[in-house]
Structure 1
Amino acid sequence: MNLYRSARAVAGASGDDVIDWKSTAEAAKAATDPGSIALAPGEREAYARDVRDARDGVRSVSGLEFDVPATVEIQNRHHWIDANVATFERVMGTLEDHAPSGAFPAVARTLNTGSMTVLLSFLGRNVLGQYDPLLLAEAPDDDHALYFVRPNILAAADALEVDPDRFRRWIAFHEVTHAAEFGAAPWLSEHLEQRMEQGIATLSEGSFDRSAFRELDAAMTVVEGYAELLMDHAFDDEYADLRRKLDERRQGRGPIQQLLRRLLGLGLKRRQYERGKHFFETIAKARDLETASLVWEGPAYLPSHSELDTPKAWLRRVDR
């Protein structure tokens, strides 16, 4: 980790865009210890086995037809930053297309590059696993991606005082549930992309499209909540202690980390987990998992914001 080199990379931001992405990647990696991916004997196969078992378990309980990405990557923190710089650049492209030049574009570029550096550095040190549906990719037929950030998984397991193999397996099951969702709903990526582009475009024009962001939030609540429901049924071990310890660790962090989590909307993600899980638990209890899976039939089957809080209203609307 070299904070001087990181600051120098930010200060040297250049180009015509509102963010210098090359400098962002360089600065974020300079500020972040990459960690090791020197795998122990049998560890690579253990990752592969966890993913296969998760796929089979989720298929069995959900009845969904899907497969996991052809490539499953075991990454260090720098690998994750490189992969996600590309993602952020795609997502922010809409903003760049509409961004005003301003009186001091070089100053704005440096500030924006610094902000993205802080964001990617923080996430790079904390993300455990990621299913990436490649939103806004230039080649929409590219395979989706599944990442495991090994140094973060080991560090979190050590801090939580839990068995690292069991913790890794839990992460694998959670990420594979997301693969199941996007596999069962080929329209979901485009649905999220449209709301994301619409919301970012209006922000760059100085307005706020509340409808687009509410629809995006509702869809992500469904994605996170359904994943939690599948985890409850598919994971082959009790995991309440893992969830509790992870939440306690997040809440016990220092004020700067807590502020970053709020600014990054990570508290919102936890709310999406809880709200979405309550919605699907209610549906599964009233009917079954097959009925809960109706959300993937098409955009019209997604619950509205109000229906997320009144699951039986959604059930009355889609009941066949």
Structure 2
Amino acid sequence: MSEQPATTDDAPLDDVRGSALVDWEFAAAAAARLAPPGPRASRREITDLVTDLRSAAARAVDPVATTARLSTPPGTPEALVVDRAGWIRANCASMDAMLAPVLDEVVRRKRAADRDRAQRAGRELPDLGATSQAISAKVTGTEVAGLLSWISTKVLGQYDLAPQGTPGLMFVAPNILAAERELGVDPTDFRLWVAMHEETHRVQFTAVPWLREHLIERARSMGTRIMPEPEDLGQRLREIVGALPDVVRGEADITQVVATPEQREKLAEVTAVMSLLEGHADVVMDEVGPSVIPSVAEIRRRFTQRRKGAGNVDKLLRRLLGMEAKMRQYKDGAIFVRAVQDQVGVEGFNRVWTSPQTLPRPTEIADPQAWVARVHG
């Protein structure tokens, strides 16, 4: 049972947790039902695909370590090959763990504001009904399910930070099969090429022990900052709705819409780190060379063209979900990595992993020389 309504400023508001705002189990189940199963394939093709992806993950380890001059420590869990439903389940669990502290803070703010209003009106703080909470959580879970079901058809692989447990590498088999068929590339080369990118992410987070917790903490901090105060929620929603036409036309970024100028500065810091990680992975996957992946240049050419050639509906969804910004991260980050390596070599670039202070600042992603001057003197 819930506690009696709070009557003092330091009394607990109630036992409602922010994580209860989303029914993540419902979201995972609903998204798995909504997501299409993927391209048609025989049982033999599926078995060969899973075997090849596991083999590619293992074969990517040494070339990535040699190219990046970073090594995944022994004992790191092996990569998993999953279907779209498996990717959805893993990401729901991670999103739940990542967002729980953020949503807890949202609830705390909301209940504190409700209490203040109740006290000024001489009323008691009303209880939050369990039934209405459950319904609300399922409504939100349905919205999350719709987004995840679409995203689950796009992701080829992922290093899951898993704030709730053990991080690990995943390959989404049906999406890789669909992409290689669409591109008309050599399947063995393409699977290894994708594995190079994802193995680079794994080596980033396993060879640099502080990086995972740093990114989780920054993401949670940014999530808390970007949530509007309860009394500002109506005004912020009106501003977002008013700016959506610019987002749809590609004239504004969704992250520019949902954040205040001060929040955008903090968001830019997180974006700079993501640009570094994605750009570094793209550089490594391309620099392993034709001796390891014979058709690497052709794969890159066709894959880059594929990124540009999305249909109108696909482009709209990418804009609304901020995924076009992610595409820019690959490009901007790769330019930064290559420019730094040209000046100070791979070992000099790897100074970036020394501490949070040596990560590139937002302005340095577009000005690699500034990072070299600051870090190398």
1:223-234 counterparts in 2 under 5 A? 223-234=277-288
Residue of structure 1 in register with 2:21 after alignment:
18
- Per the TM alignment, residue 44 of structure 1 is displaced from its structure 2 partner at its CA by 4.6
1-side partners of 2:19 and 2:366: how far apart? 45
Q: Kindly indicate whether the alpha-carbon contact (under 8 Å) linking 2:84 and 2:172 is maintained by their aligned counterparts in 1.
A: yes
Residue matched to 1:214: 268
Give the % identical residues: 33
Helix, strand or coil at the partner of 1:197: helix
Per the TM alignment, residue 110 of structure 1 is displaced from its structure 2 partner at its CA by: 4.7
Distance 1:304 1:290 in 2: 20
RMSD of the alignment, in Å? Answer: 2.6
Structure 2 length as normaliser, TM-score?
0.73
- Which residue does the alignment assign to 1:200? 223
Name the counterpart of 2:348.
291
1:132 partner letter: D
One-letter amino acid of the structure 1 residue matched with residue 36 of structure 2? D
5+ residue gaps, structure 1: 1-14
The amino acid across from 1:271 in the alignment is R
After TM superposition, the structure 1 = structure 2 runs for residues 98-113 of structure 1, keeping only pairs within 5 Å, are 98-99=105-106, 100=110, 109-113=137-141
Cα distance in 2 for residues equivalent to 1:52 and 1:274: 27
Partner Cα separation in structure 2 for residue 115 and residue 213 of structure 1:
24
The code of the aligned residue for 1:289 comes to V
User: Can you list the C-alpha shifts for 1:155-191, whole angstroms capped at 9, x where unaligned?
Assistant: 1111111222221111111100111111221111111
Kindly indicate whether residue 99 of structure 2 is the aligned counterpart of residue 92 of structure 1.
yes
Aligned to 1:7: none
User: Secondary structure at 2:318's aligned position in 1?
Assistant: helix
Task: Note the alpha carbon deviations across 1:18-68, whole angstroms, 9 max, x for none.
Answer: 211122112111112334794546555433332222110111122213248
Q: Which residue of 2 aligns with 1:9?
A: none
Q: Which residue of the partner structure matches residue 358 of structure 2?
A: 301
Q: Is the contact made by 1:195 and 1:213 (CA closer than 8 Å) also made in structure 2? A: no
| Structure number with bigger Rg | 2
User: 1:32·1:121 contact (CA, 8 Å) conserved in 2?
Assistant: yes
1:56 aligns with 2:56: no
Structure 1 residue 198, shift from structure 2 partner: 0.9
Distance 1:310 1:250 in 2: 25
Indicate the residue corresponding to 1:158 in structure 2. Answer: 181
| Structure 1 CA distance for aligned equivalents of residues 299 and 213 of structure 2 | 33
Relative to structure 1, is the Cα distance of residues 291 and 153 closer, same or farther in structure 2, using a 3 angstrom cutoff? same
Judge conservation of contact 2:73–2:207 (CA < 8 Å) in 1: no
Confirm or deny that 1:180 pairs with 2:203: yes
TM-score by length of 1: 0.85
| 8 Å contact from structure 2 (residues 158, 170) kept in 1 | yes
Residue pair 1:75, 1:149 contacting (<8 A) in 2 also: yes
Q: Is this contact kept in 1: 2:26–2:142, CA < 8 A?
A: no
Greater mean deviation of Cα atoms: 172-181 or 36-45: 36-45
Structure 2: any 5+ residue segments left out of the alignment?
1-17, 115-127, 230-258
Cα–Cα, structure 1 residues 54 and 293, in superposed 2: closer, same or farther, change >3 Å? same
Partner of 1:171: 194
> Is the 1:37–1:76 Cα contact (8 Å) retained in structure 2?
no
Does 45-54 or 116-125 show the bigger shift?
45-54
Contact (CA 8 Å) 1:184, 1:296: kept in 2 or not?
Answer: no
Counterpart of 2:169 in 1: which secondary structure? Answer: strand
- Which of 26, 46, 71 is the aligned partner of 1:65? 71
- In the alignment, does 2:142 pair up with 1:117? no
Shifted more, 259-268 versus 243-252: the winner is 243-252
CA distance in 2, matches of 1:16, 1:305: 31
Are the counterparts in 1 of residues 274 and 329 from structure 2 also a CA contact under 8 Å? yes
Shift in alpha-carbon separation, 1:84–1:309, aligned structure 2, 3 A? same
Matched residue type, 2:282 = E
Q: Is the 8 A contact 1:98 1:205 kept in 2?
A: no
For residues 132 and 60 of structure 1, what CA distance do their matches in structure 2 show? 23
